Amino acid sequence: MRNWLLPENIADILPATARQVESAKAAMLERFRTYGYELVCPPLIEYIDSLVYDGDTALVMKTFKLDDQMSGRQLGLRADITPQVARIDAHLLSSRQGVTRLCYAGSVLHTVPESAMRSREPLQIGAELYGSSDVGADLEIVDLMLASLEGVGVGGLTLDIGHVGIFRALAAAAALPAPLTAELFGVLQAKDIPSAETLLAGAAEPFRSALLALPGLYGPDALSRASQCLPALPEIRRALADMQAVADSVAGRATVNFDLSDLRGTAYHTGLMFAAYAPGWSDALARGGRYDNVGDKFGRARPATGFSLDLRDLVRVLPQRSPAMGIRVAGADAGRAREAIAALRTAGEVLVIDYLGESATALNCDRALVWRADGWQVEPFASH
C-alpha cells in the first residue's frame, strides 16, 4: 500500500517553495496593513448555507460537504473566503457604519480543480472594502492588487477589465425571466454563441443583438466599439465610464485589455470585474470585482469590492531566489558558543549546528563560527 500518495491535485509544498510562499504572504499582508486593511481569520468550516449564495451553483459544486455530528446540520469546507468576510462585516462588525477594510489569508478546498494545473487546496489571500459604492473604492482595490503583485517581484502585468453589470442591464431591459438569464449567463461564460442565439430567439431588439455582441467586445478598443453598438442605457453608460476610469488609473503601470464577454466571476459579482495576468502563466494571477449587497443574507446589504489570488499559483511566476546562506557551527562547539549563536540569530543570521561533519553545500552555509584567541569569530567556510 502506497500510503504516501496524495489525492489528485493535492500536493505538499517543499522547503524552498514554502519559504517563498510564506514570504510573499507576509509581504502582501504587510502591504494590506499599510493601506488600512485589518486582518481577519475565518474558520475553515461552517454551516453550508453561510458559505454559498442562492443561485451560485458553481460555488455549491466546488464546496465539500459533511454532516455535523453535534448539530445534525450540514457543514461545508470553505471553497472561497469572500462570503465569510462578508458575513463578518454584516454581522460581527455591524456596528461600523462607515467604510470597513478587511483582509485575510488561508487555505480553501475545492471538490474539483478549476483547471488541470491548479490545486484543489488554493492558498487564498485577498482584501475586501465594504461601505462605498464610489468607483474610487474599485480604483483602490485595483491599485492594491497590482501593488501586491509588484511588491513580490511580478512584472509585465496585464489588466483585463470587464463589467458584469452590462450583461445584467441588458438582460433586465430585455425582460428575460430569471431562469433564462441564469442559463444565458452560463452560456456566455462558455462563449457558446450558437446556444446563446437559440436562447435569445424570442428576445426583443436591440437587446438581443447587444447580448450576442458581448463575446466580440474584447481588446484595447472594446470600449469605443461598445459605445457604438450597445444601447445607451444609463447603467451601460456608467459601466463604460467606470471601466475607462480603471484603465486611466493604471496607465503606464500595466497593459490594459477590455473584455465585456468575461463573465467568469461568481454569481455574487454585480459590477466591475478585473483580472491581472503576467508572462509565464496562462491564467489570471489575481481576480477581483464588485459584489454589492452580498451581505444581505446576513442581515446587512452593503456595497463591496475586493480581490483575491492563490499563492500556490503565484509562486509559479515569482522570481527564483536562492535561500540565504548560513553560518555553520560544529556540534561539539554548540554548547560553548551558545551566547555567540544567540547573538548572531538575534541579528538575523542563520546558524546551523553541524552534528555530522557535512559539507558547506549540504548545510547551505558559506561561513563558519570558530573559536580563536580573541573569541568566537565568523570566517569563510568551504567544503571539506
- Residues annotated as binding site for L-histidine? 80-82, 124, 128, 264
Query: Contact at 8 Å (CB) between 61 and 269?
Result: no
Contact predicate 137/128, CB 8 Å: no
Of 62, 306, 323, 274, the residue nearest 162 (C-alpha): 274
**Distance (Å, whole) CA 115 – CA 377:** 53
Q: Which amino acid belongs to residue 127?
A: A
Phi, psi angles (nearest 5°) of residue 295: -80, 0
Q: Which residue has the cell 452590462?
A: 166
The position carrying cell 500518495 is 5
d(CA 305, CA 289): 6
Q: What is the CB neighbour count within 10 angstroms for residue 145? A: 27
Kindly give, in sequence order, each residue whose CB lies less than 8 Å from that of residue 257, ignoring residues fewer than 6 positions away. 158, 159, 160, 161, 218, 219, 220
Cell 475586501 identifies what position?
Answer: 128
Q: What is the chain's alpha carbon radius of gyration, rounded to the nearest angstrom?
A: 26
Cell 474610487, located at residue: 136
Q: Specify binding-site residues.
A: 80-82, 124, 128, 264
Asked if residue 127 lies in contact with residue 141, where contact means CB atoms within 8 angstroms, the answer is yes
d(CA 76, CA 60) in angstroms, rounded, equals 9
Which residue, 311, 302, 275, 304, is CA-closest to 82? 304
Rounded Cα distance between 276 and 149, Å, is 9
